[in-house]
Amino acid sequence: MGRNGPATAGFASLGLLIAAYLAWTRLSGGLPVCGPLHGCETVALSSYSELFGVPVAVFGLAFSIVLFGLSLAWWRRADRHALLGLYGLGLLGVLFVAYLTYLELFVIDAVCVWCAGYALTVLSGWITAAVTLRRNPAD
């Protein structure tokens, strides 16, 4: 549909699941399982995995919950402020995960597939929101 509600809500819930898994492993004292692709442990053990004493994954989880709520508000109630929120917060998210990915590649020297997956959901959600915003101008 023109509102792309299921798409933005879908990307947000996918990100929510990934962030929930990463936050859970972190808070239970474990390490994310990467399978044959290593790097998750290194990233999870790096000093960048926490901000102000709070695991980055927890910020990601909160961020995804907000995105999901905005997606619902736009999808079910056609609240254009929610769409603008999705677009604006999505842009912030895209820029920030780009920064985190830069840290992984050039500072931590390890890439975590979970983090990359999360970054993709943020990017996809933001692109969807941007396209939707263009197709649904203010009346």
Provide, rounded to whole angstroms, the least separation between the CB of residue 134 and other proteins: 7
Q: Are 70 and 89 a contacting pair, CB within 8 Å?
A: yes
CB closer to other proteins out of 38 and 76 = 38
Provide, rounded to whole angstroms, the least separation between the CB of residue 16 and other proteins: 20
Residues that bind other proteins (CB under 8 A): 1-2, 28-31, 41-42, 44-47, 51-52, 84, 87-92, 95-96, 99, 133-139
The SS3 assignment for 55 reads strand
Provide, rounded to whole angstroms, the least separation between the CB of residue 12 and other proteins: 17
CB closer to other proteins out of 15 and 32 = 32
CB closer to other proteins out of 36 and 47 = 47
CA geometry: angle 68, 71, 73, nearest 5 deg: 110
Alpha-carbon span 139 to 58, nearest angstrom: 37
Torsion of CA 114, 119, 121, 123, to 10 degrees: -170
CB closer to other proteins out of 19 and 110 = 110
Packing angle of the helix pair 5-27, 113-135 (nearest 10 deg): 160
